[in-house]
């Protein structure tokens, strides 16, 4: 990454950090783009050079996040059972959201507009994960790997949807592990 790209990434992260702090302190609805820009020491126009709106400051992926989750996928051994790989990848992905996920969840509960925007969160990750699973399909059985992927994603969504508001993020991770464990054993071996 050259100097210009590093500066752009630093500005992107400064804006996101300011937005997350303000949303946490004063609430999503009460926070304005102008306040975020001021807290990040940038202009309103600069804010919009990096984010389409204040919801994007929470939902957009860090430019390096995709590299991180692709590394999670690439690190899985080719001979590892698919379910074990999916469990490790999904758990690692959720762990990477430790700083954002609890706040996103609170904002979704407080703001119907944000909740609507948040529906697209994770689309790129799940698209990349589907391509990764498809790349691991060997032989004639294309259904079982896709079924395993869908079960793992459903287990992840279930863990999120049943995560009580008062439970910590570590509690969510334990819930995720439990959901993945319960969804996995019933599926036949590859």
Q: According to the 3-state scheme, what is the secondary structure of the chain?
A: CCHHHHHHHHHHHHHHHHHHHHHHHHCCCCCCHHHHHHHHCCCHHHHHHHCCCHHHHHHCCCCCHHHHHHHHHHCCCCCCCHHHHHHHHHHHHHHCCCCCHHHHHHHHHHCHHHHHHHCCCCHHHHHHHHHHHHHCCCCCCCHHHHHHHHHHHHHHHHHHHCCCCCCCHHHHHHHHHHHHHHHCCCCCCC
What distance in Å separates the CA atoms of residue 72 and residue 93, rounded to the nearest whole number?
Answer: 8
**In order of start, what are the domains of the chain with their CATH numbers?**
3-58 (1.10.10.60), 65-183 (1.10.357.10)
pLDDT tens per residue, range 62-107: 888 889 999 999 999 999 999 999 999 999 999 999 988 999 898 8
Among 45-59, 118-132, 158-172, whose mean pLDDT is lowest?
118-132
pLDDT tens per residue, range 18-42: 999 999 999 999 999 999 999 999 9
User: Average pLDDT in the 46-65 region?
Assistant: 91
pTM of the complete model: 0.83
The answer to whether 100 touches 44, Cβ cutoff 8 Å, is no
Give the position of tokens 């790349």: 135
């Amino acid at each position: 990454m050259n100097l210009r790209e590093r500066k752009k990434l630093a500005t992107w992260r400064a804006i996101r950090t300011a937005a997350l702090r303000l949303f946490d302190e004063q609430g999503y609805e009460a926070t304005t783009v102008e306040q975020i820009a001021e807290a990040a020491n940038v202009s309103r126009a600069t804010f919009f050079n990096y984010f389409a709106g204040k919801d994007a400051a929470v939902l957009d992926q860090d430019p390096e996040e995709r590299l991180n989750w692709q590394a999670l996928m690439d690190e899985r051994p080719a001979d590892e059972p698919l379910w074990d790989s999916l469990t490790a990848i999904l758990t690692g992905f959720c762990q990477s959201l430790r700083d954002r996920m609890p706040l996103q969840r609170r904002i979704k509960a407080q703001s119907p507009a944000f909740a609507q925007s948040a529906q697209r969160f994770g689309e790129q990750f799940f698209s990349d994960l589907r391509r990764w699973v498809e790349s691991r399909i060997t032989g004639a059985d294309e259904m079982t790997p896709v079924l395993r992927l869908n079960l793992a994603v459903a287990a992840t969504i279930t863990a999120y949807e049943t995560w009580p508001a008062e439970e910590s993020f570590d509690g969510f991770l334990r819930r995720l592990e439990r959901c993945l464990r319960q969804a996995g054993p019933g599926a036949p071996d590859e």
